[in-house]
A and B are shown apart, each in its own frame.
Chain A
């Protein structure tokens, strides 16, 4: 996984609450068996007309945001289906961070697993960022968001911070605890209350 240290870019404002993962990546694109190539289908139904041409009024088609790495979203972003394809599509399109007032739990987790930093901010901060036209800098080490000379700090769970900064493989981390897992399994299999 590519580490996340610091990024700076213009932010893409997606002004809509309760955006579900069915919108982020519609079901017809879940049949691929790899993790790459989903960016072209990101927000497909909102992004394209029936004939495949780009919808002019959809923010992802606005040339001003072409090189954006930051997505600004509204409350309860990523709700619904657990499909990790949503995170893969955002990453493949070029987004490395999403800012919102809240995220759905499974989506939030899926972001970190793919090197995307989801940041929870309060309503006022989010509104300011939506209104700003200038670049935003996200510094994970310092846990800061900088925009128009204003520095705002954000919270992140320490384990996610470490995993993102170092681009760690969660499975390799867990396998360090192989002895503990085996111990748990042995206790289970010797118990009269085993479930296997």
Chain B
């Protein structure tokens, strides 16, 4: 084989290796996004361990508003709708918003009736809920970071070419807290 033939072969091998590595990179980042989403769902489902106890305590104490009980029931049904297979950031947003409502309702009642704080179970439940919410928040952050890495991985050159020809993956939406962002007038010009 002539020298130019060897050079062309070498370039072809390098191009093929690059394409394979970009293709695999996109696949592994997609898997990481799916795994992170499953992490969010699994953290959300942890709420199922606490909600029955919370429901019991709220129904036992008439100091709590009736609306809290119905919110807890809605929350449980919404949690059942979440799927690990389908990335549904809107459904997640609804659950987070409902959870925030339940938490703030309970906190307001506990502030008005300090004797409720002395109930050990209530305190432990609130602590557990707060830690669970922290974990959900962290899982969402990990999900969003992975989504960013994935989106960047399909949009930069030459990855966009490989994705367009082989992977054919679309951008994934990051999760944004609509309830919080509604409080701002500022909207980024994206």
A binds B: no
Q: Which residues of A contact B (CB under 8 A)?
A: none
Q: Which residues of B contact A (CB under 8 A)?
A: none
